[in-house]
Structure 1
Amino acid sequence: FSQLTLAQTLPVLKQNFTEVIDVKVDDNQFVVVQGIDADGKDTTAYVNAGTGKILGTPQKESEFFQWVTTLHRSLFLHEAGRIFMGIISFLLFLIAVSGTVLVLQRQKGIKRFFNKIVKENFSQYYHVVLGRLQLIPIIIIAGTGTWLTLTKFVGGDEVKVKHTIDFDNLKSEPQKKLADFAVFKNTKLADVQSIEFPFSEDVEDYFTLKLTDREVVVNQITGEVLSEVQYPTKQLFTTLSLNLHTGRTNIVWAIVLAIASANILFFIYSGFVITLKRRKNRIKNKFKVDESRFVILVGSENGSTFRFADAIHQQLLKNGQKSFMAELNSYNVFDNAEHIIVFAATYGLGDAPTNASKFINLLKKYPQFRKNSCRGRFNWWQCTQLLCRNCRCNKQR
C-alpha cells in the first residue's frame, strides 16, 4: 500500500466502476470508493487499491463505541463537558511535568533518571517506576488533549482552502491518460486523504486531491496542476495531535496509548494511597513546645520514619513525659527542652526529605547553647550523616 501511486490506482478504479465520485483513504489505510458499480448501482465500498475489486461495505460504528467516545469527549455534557475535559487534560499535563521534575530531583539529574529506585512500599515504588516508563505517552495524551480543546473553542473552525484558478486559460490539449499524469505518478496513495473526481468531462471540472499536507487541483485532461495550497501549520499540528491522541494511524502506538491509559488509572490509585498515608502522619501534639521536656524532630518523605518517631513520642507521653513532635524544617531554639531527638531518613540518592531540606541551614542559624556541653543538650537518635555532617555535636553523638 505504501508504495502504490495514484497513477497505478485511479486507472484501475475507473475500469471497475462505471463512475467514481470520490475516493477516501481512512485512518487505517483502507480505500473507500463512492460511485456507481459495474451493475449500475450506487455503492460505497472498500476496494483493493491494486486491483480495484470490492472487498466489502463500510459498517456503522458500534453504538457502544459511540457511547464511549461521547463519554470520553464530553461526559455527555456537550460543549460544557468538552471544556471540562480540556481542563482535566491540562491538569494531567501539569501533573506529568511536575512529576518529571520530582523524579529528576530524586534521581540527581537526567543521567540517573532510570537508575534503580529504593522500594519503600508498593504504591510509592510502582508510582515512580511506571511513571518513568509511561512519562512520554502520558505527556502526549495530556498535551494533545489540551490542544484539541483549545482549537475547538479558541482557535475557531478549520480553515477552508481557497483555490485561485484561471478558467480563461484552461488547456484541453495534449490529452493524457490518468496513468501518465506527472502529479499522479509522484503522489503516493498513503499521502492521500481524499480525491474528488470531476463531475463531468468538461475542462472546467477537475480533480481535487486532499493530501496530508496540502490540497491540489488537477486538470482532468492534461494532468496540469491548476492550483496547490499548503495547509496552515496550525491545521497540520491539529491533525498530528489528533493522530497522536487517538492512535488511529498506527496500531503499535494505539497499544502504547492503551497501556498508558491503564497506568493513569493506577497512578490515581497509588497517588491516593500515598496522599492518605501522608495525611495519617499529620502531627498532633498534646503539649506546647515551650512546656515540653522532649522535642522530637522528624525528617520523613513517605512516612516510614515518622511512625518510628511517633512510637517514641507516644511512649514518652504514656510515661508521663511532656513531649513535642515537629518536622525538621521547624527547627528553632528550644529554650526549655532538655532533649532534642532527631529521626531522619534519606530520600532518593541520599538527599534529605522535603520536610528536612532546610535543617542544615536552620542548625547553623539557631544553635542550642548550653554552658557545659552539648551532650547534655542533645540526644541524637537515628540522625543521618547527611543531615548532621555539619552539626557541631556530630562527633559526640
Structure 2
Amino acid sequence: MMRILHRWPGLVLAALLFVTALSGAALSIFPTLDAVQAPQAGATLTVAELAARVQASHPGLEQIKRAPSGQISAWWFDGSQPGSAIIDPATGRDVGSADPDPVRRWLTTLHRSLFMGDGGRLTATTGALAMLVLAISGAVLVSRRTGGWRRWFARLRGPWAGRLHTEIARVAVLGLLLSSVTALWMSAETFEIVTIEAASLEAPAQVSGRAGLALTQMAALNATPVAELRELSFPAPGDPQDLFTLRTDRGMGYVDPGTGTLLAWQDLSFGQHLSETIAMLHTGQGAAVLGLILGLMALGVPVLAVTGVLTWLAGRRARPQLKDNAQAAQAETVVLVGSEGGSTWGFAATLASALRDAGQSVHVAPMTGFAPSRYRQAQRFLILAATYGEGDAPASAKGFLDQIQALREPPAAPMAVLGFGDRSFPAFCAFAAAVESAARAKGWAALLPFDAIDRQSSQDFTRWGRTLGHALGIELELAHQPVLPATQTL
C-alpha cells in the first residue's frame, strides 16, 4: 500500500511537481538577495527618526513599509505625482525603485497558480498534497530499505537510479514535508477553508484634532524601534480627524498626530501569528537562511522525479516476458515469485526454462496471485521470495502471508522456499523465512529445506537447482546469468 501511495502520485504528477519545485527554489533566492542588497536600519533607530528622515526628502510622504528582509520602502505624492522608492534608513534618501521585480512576480504567479487563476491554484494545491503524500510514504520506504529509522543513513547498494533517489530523499524529506504542509495551510487560507481574521481596530472617537507635531516628538513613534516596524501610514493632509496607523510585529494601533500618543492598540491574535509564521516558513521572507535550505531541498524534486521514473521503468523491464507459461490449472510445477526490483523474476525464468527442458509443465506467477484452488494438477510449489527492507514483503508478494494463514488446510503438493537477499543487511531473507515458517505452521509439507541466495549468486542458485533436481529425480542445471547494472557506493 505504501509503495502504491508513493509510486502513482509521483508518476502522474511528476511534471507538476517539477515546475512547482523549480519555481519555489528560484523564489527562495530573493529573500537573501533582499537582505544583502537592502540598506539595514541601525539597531537603535526608532520609527520617529526614520519617518522624519524620509519626510525631509519627501514632504508629501504617505506611507513607510519595512519588509521582513529589513528593506525600507516609502510612498509619497509630489504635488499630484505619486512616487515610491527603496529608502536608505540612515539618510532617508532613495536608493532604488520600489516597483515589483517582474522576474519575481512572474515566478510567483507560476508557483502559485501556473498562470491559470483559481484553477491553477487548485492544481498547485493538488501538487502540494501529492508532495506531502510522497514525503511521508517516501520516508517510510527509506526506513524499510535501510533496515529501520536508526539506520536512516546506512550505506546503500543497487542500481544507481534507486540509490540516488534514496540518497536525495533522506536528505530532503524534512524540507519537503515542511514546504508541503505550509503550502497546504496557505492554500486553505486562500480558499477560506481556514479563516484568519485580518488585524483590524476601530478608530477612536476622541482625537485631538490638531496637527503639526514634529515626528521626532511623538512618544509612540519614538518608543517603536524600526526593527519591529511593518507599516506606518500618515494621516490625510487637511483632515483633523485622521490618524497615523502603526503596524508592527506585535499588532496595530492609532497615533494622534497632534499629541503623538497611542490612542488605541490591538495585539495580533494567535491565529494571525500562526499564519504569519507559516508564511515565513514557506517563503523564507524573514528567514533567508531557512529559505535557501528549503530551496536547495526543492531542487532535489526534479532529480527525484527523474530517478523515480527510471526506477519504475527498470523494474518493468526487469520482469521477463515468460514464454510457454502453462495454464495454472494444467501445470505440474507452480513457481511463485516475490520480487521488488525485478531480479527474482529473472531467476524464476531460468528455473522455469530448465524445468520445461526436463519435461515439466510450469506455471510462473506472482505470489500475490496465490490461489490453491486454481492449481488442480500441481505436484509441487516452488516459492522464490526476495525481502524488502526490514523483513517486509516485496511488491509482488503483498498479502501472501495472510493468504497462507487464512488456509483451512494446506495444498497437497509440497513446497520449497528459496530466499533472495543480501547478508550485509540485518533482515537477510527475513520475509522468505517468514513464509517458510507460516507454511510449516499450517502443516504444508516441505519438498526441500529452506535455502537462501546471497547477492544474486549464480553459484548458490546452481547448487540449489541440483538439490531440487535430485529431489525430483531429474538432471537440473540452472545456468543463470543475472543482469547486474553498473554500481558504485555513494
Question: So what's the TM-score if we normalise by structure 2?
Answer: 0.67
| Structure 1 residues 356 and 215, CA gap change in structure 2 (3 angstroms) | same
Q: How far apart in 1 are the matches of 2:366 and 2:242?
A: 79
Where in structure 2 are the equivalents of 1:195-214 lying within 5 Å?
195-200=232-237, 204-214=241-251
Deviation at 1:34, TM superposition (A): 2.1
Gapped runs of 5+ residues in structure 1? 371-376
Deviation at 1:234, TM superposition (A): 4.4
Q: Which amino acid aligns with 1:119?
A: R
Q: How far apart in 2 are the matches of 1:179 and 1:311?
A: 89
Picking from 72, 75, 79, the partner of 1:34 is 75
| Structure 1 residues 341 and 396, CA gap change in structure 2 (3 angstroms) | closer
4+ aligned runs moved over 6 Å, structure 1: none
Identity %: 23
| Structure 1 residues 367 and 84, CA gap change in structure 2 (3 angstroms) | same
Which residue in 2 is equivalent to 1:152?
190
Deviation at 1:324, TM superposition (A): 1.3
Q: Which amino acid aligns with 2:166?
A: V
Which residue in 1 is equivalent to 2:110?
71
2:359 corresponds to 1:294: no
Verify the 8 A CA contact 2:72 2:87 in the aligned structure 1.
yes
Deviation at 1:31, TM superposition (A): 0.7
| Structure 1 residues 226 and 46, CA gap change in structure 2 (3 angstroms) | same
Deviation at 1:81, TM superposition (A): 1.9
Picking from 135, 140, 147, the partner of 1:96 is 135
Q: How far apart in 2 are the matches of 1:262 and 1:43?
A: 38
Deviation at 1:134, TM superposition (A): 1.0
Gapped runs of 5+ residues in structure 2? 1-40, 421-428, 441-445, 452-490
Which residue in 1 is equivalent to 2:6?
none
Picking from 225, 228, 238, the partner of 2:265 is 228
Deviates more, 1:205-214 or 1:2-11: 2-11
Which residue in 2 is equivalent to 1:323?
362
Which residue in 2 is equivalent to 1:373?
none
Q: Which amino acid aligns with 1:151?
A: E
CA RMSD across the alignment: 3.6
Q: Which amino acid aligns with 2:381?
A: I
Which residue in 2 is equivalent to 1:261?
298
2:424 corresponds to 1:387: no
Which residue in 2 is equivalent to 1:305?
344
Q: How far apart in 1 are the matches of 2:400 and 2:138?
A: 24
Q: How far apart in 1 are the matches of 2:320 and 2:273?
A: 50
Which residue in 1 is equivalent to 2:281?
244
Which residue in 1 is equivalent to 2:28?
none
How many corresponding residue pairs? 387
Deviates more, 1:153-162 or 1:11-20: 153-162
Verify the 8 A CA contact 2:88 2:94 in the aligned structure 1.
yes
SS in 2 for 1:46: strand
Question: So what's the TM-score if we normalise by structure 1?
Answer: 0.81
SS in 2 for 1:349: coil
Deviation at 1:23, TM superposition (A): 0.5
| Structure 1 residues 34 and 362, CA gap change in structure 2 (3 angstroms) | closer
Which residue in 1 is equivalent to 2:462?
none
Verify the 8 A CA contact 2:326 2:363 in the aligned structure 1.
yes
| Structure 1 residues 186 and 155, CA gap change in structure 2 (3 angstroms) | farther
2:96 corresponds to 1:51: no
Where in structure 2 are the equivalents of 1:136-151 lying within 5 Å?
136-151=174-189
Which residue in 1 is equivalent to 2:311?
274
Q: How far apart in 2 are the matches of 1:154 and 1:273?
A: 39
Which residue in 1 is equivalent to 2:59?
18
Where in structure 2 are the equivalents of 1:104-183 lying within 5 Å?
104-107=143-146, 109-112=148-151, 114-155=152-193, 159=197, 161-168=199-206, 170=208, 178-179=215-216, 181-183=218-220
Picking from 377, 384, 394, the partner of 1:353 is 394
Q: How far apart in 2 are the matches of 1:228 and 1:116?
A: 55
| Structure 1 residues 289 and 68, CA gap change in structure 2 (3 angstroms) | same
Q: Which amino acid aligns with 1:220?
A: P
Q: How far apart in 1 are the matches of 2:329 and 2:100?
A: 75
SS in 1 for 2:360: coil
Superimposed CA distance per residue, residues 288-334 of structure 1 (whole angstroms, 9 cap, x where no aligned partner): 22211221122222222222223333444466532111223444545
| Structure 1 residues 351 and 94, CA gap change in structure 2 (3 angstroms) | closer
Q: How far apart in 1 are the matches of 2:195 and 2:404?
A: 61
